Amino acid sequence: MSVVVANPSASDDYFRFFGLNQQFTIDLPALEQAYLAIQKEVHPDRHARGSDTEQRLAMQMATLANTALQTLKNPVQRGLYICQLHCVDAKLETNTAMPAAFLMKQMEWRESLDEQADDLPALEKLMDEVAVSKQDTLAEIAQAIDSAKNYQRAAELLRGLLFIDKFAIELDDAIVALA
């Protein structure tokens, strides 16, 4: 018995591994379906009677499938991964430069959170604004990657999205604390 995987030679590209097009806008149900098909093929029970090599390969493919799924399901991780495939490093640890308008918006949000910490309706309104900003940024990332193939711009937008996500978590914590 040998391990059959959609495309094991494509393990260096998670999109090819799952038989998907390399793009930011992804068909999540198709991703899930491809993942389940691979997991079914490499499940340890199917290889219990196989050689040690076959069992090890099945385990490696199952682990790869898990890692690839988690990377492609998450928009930030998916975008960073696509940038990486195109030799663009987002430099998350070292590059914190952001456009002035973006930084001003972040400061406004923080001030609103501080000033309205006890005002649940105001915090919920702020959360709506943050959600819209996140959706707009995701749309810009999709355009940068899928249409313009501008991976440098995508990396900048992804860094901004990380800031938005971090603030959204803090805001959500504040809302939960009031509820």
**Residue carrying the six token digits 């499940």:** 43
pLDDT value of position 10: 56
Report domain extents, the chain.
14-73, 100-178
Tens digits of residue pLDDT in 38-72? 999 888 778 778 888 888 888 888 899 999 999 99
For residues 109 and 103, give the distance between their C-alpha atoms in angstroms, rounded to a whole number: 10
- 14-73 sits in which CATH class? mainly alpha
**Residue carrying the six token digits 């919920």:** 124
Same fold for the pair 14-73 and 100-178: no
Confidence of residue 11 (pLDDT cuts 50, 70, 90): low
User: How many Cβ atoms from other residues are within 10 Å of residue 46's Cβ?
Assistant: 16
pLDDT value of position 54: 85
Please state the separation of Cα 65 from the chain's center in Å. Answer: 15
**Across all residues in the chain, what is the average pLDDT?**
90
Tens digits of residue pLDDT in 102-130? 999 999 999 999 999 999 999 999 999 99
**CATH number for the 100-178 domain, one of 3.20.20.140, 1.20.1280.20, 3.40.50.10420, 3.50.50.60?**
1.20.1280.20
Q: Which long-range contacts (CB under 8 A, 24 or more apart) does 118-124 make?
A: 118/178, 120/175, 120/178, 120/179, 123/171, 123/174, 123/175, 123/178, 124/175
For residues 87 and 17, give the distance between their C-alpha atoms in angstroms, rounded to a whole number: 19
Tens digits of residue pLDDT in 71-98? 999 999 999 999 999 999 888 777 777 8
